[in-house]
Structure 1
Amino acid sequence: MDQFYHEVACAACSRLRRRCINACIMRPYFPPGDDLNFINVHFTFTNNNVERWITLRETEEQKRDLVRALKWEAGQRLFNPIEGSYAVCMRQRQRITELNAQVQFLLMMVDHFNQQQ
């Protein structure tokens, strides 16, 4: 069976030095020119894992969400190689704790104000 090749390879095929066929599963998520995102994802998760994870998803929306999450995670690991996205989660948890304390303080102030009237 003849395979048709894209004139310009997607970022994944370009970086892996292979021909980009019409059935390339990476092309929709790593179009030509998106080399930096692919390099980060490939370095963090390896191409075989990414391809396997994409094929395991059923809908196109799930696949897009997966690749978006992988790009974000790879970017976080590039920015902070030790903690990666864990650091972001911990900062958000800390912020939620601080906001909850502020809400409790404000509720206490409102209650105190209502009792004085």
Structure 2
Amino acid sequence: MGGNSPCASCKLLRRRCAKDCIFAPYFPSDDPHKFAIVHKVFGASNVSKMLQELPVSQRGDAVMSLVYEASARVRDPVYGCVGAISYLQNQVSQLQMQLAVAQAEILCIQMQQDHPVFPNCPQIHYSGDKLLPPPSQCLNFANSPNVIYDTVFGHDIVS
């Protein structure tokens, strides 16, 4: 902030905060942890160079990104923010799959209501909170010739 109250960067690095300090607008003195984590991961010199290369209008977003990435890297040193992003993408994929299954079940129920004897749509039975196909459509793997029982690990292996 130039002169009176040094920014978090100048405070941490123990230097005088100049009027034109590149860190002052983005790392205020009341939030020293934000700069400390960015400095730990990227280094003050590298962050200064990055910010100087950007137009002033983009620096705020860049600092927010650096803080997010540095925090993620401290939490997960191997994957950093990529680990969090991958986890969220996987969660979105799973939810999209669940949504598709639910939409198919809704369509099937609607078709059953519109056409009570619809041949290609299995009857859906409710068991507690789960939807189950009728027993005649359930595969009985225990009696199937395609199942090999592994006595060492106790698993059924479908061939």
TM-score tier (shorter): 0.7 to 0.9
1:9-51 deviation per Cα after TM superposition (whole angstroms, max 9, x unaligned): 1111111121101111100111113221111101101111111
Is 1:69 matched with 2:65? yes
Residue matched to 1:9: 6
Residue matched to 2:78: 82
1:66-94 deviation per Cα after TM superposition (whole angstroms, max 9, x unaligned): 10111111111112222211210111011
- Cα RMSD for the two superposed structures: 1.3
Residue matched to 2:45: 48
Structure with the greater alpha carbon radius of gyration = 2
User: Greater share of strand residues, 1 or 2?
Assistant: 2
Residue matched to 1:58: 55
Q: 2:92 aligns with which of 82, 96, 100?
A: 96
Q: Which moved more, 1:79-88 or 1:89-98?
A: 79-88
Letter in 2 for 1:13: C
Alignment partners' CA distance in 1, 2:77 and 2:92: 24
Q: Greater relative contact order (Cα 8 A, min sep 6): structure 1 or 2?
A: 1
Alignment partners' CA distance in 1, 2:47 and 2:30: 19
Q: 2:15 aligns with which of 6, 13, 18?
A: 18
Q: Which runs of 5+ in 1 are unaligned?
A: none
**TM-score, normalization: structure 1?**
0.87
Q: How many residue pairs were aligned?
A: 112
After TM superposition, what 4+ stretches of structure 1 lie above 6 angstroms from structure 2? none
**TM-score, normalization: structure 2?**
0.66
Q: Percent identity at matched positions? A: 29
Q: 1:105 aligns with which of 97, 101, 106?
A: 101
Alignment partners' CA distance in 1, 2:28 and 2:55: 21
Alignment partners' CA distance in 1, 2:86 and 2:30: 33
User: Greater share of helix residues, 1 or 2?
Assistant: 1
Q: Secondary structure at the match of 2:26?
A: coil
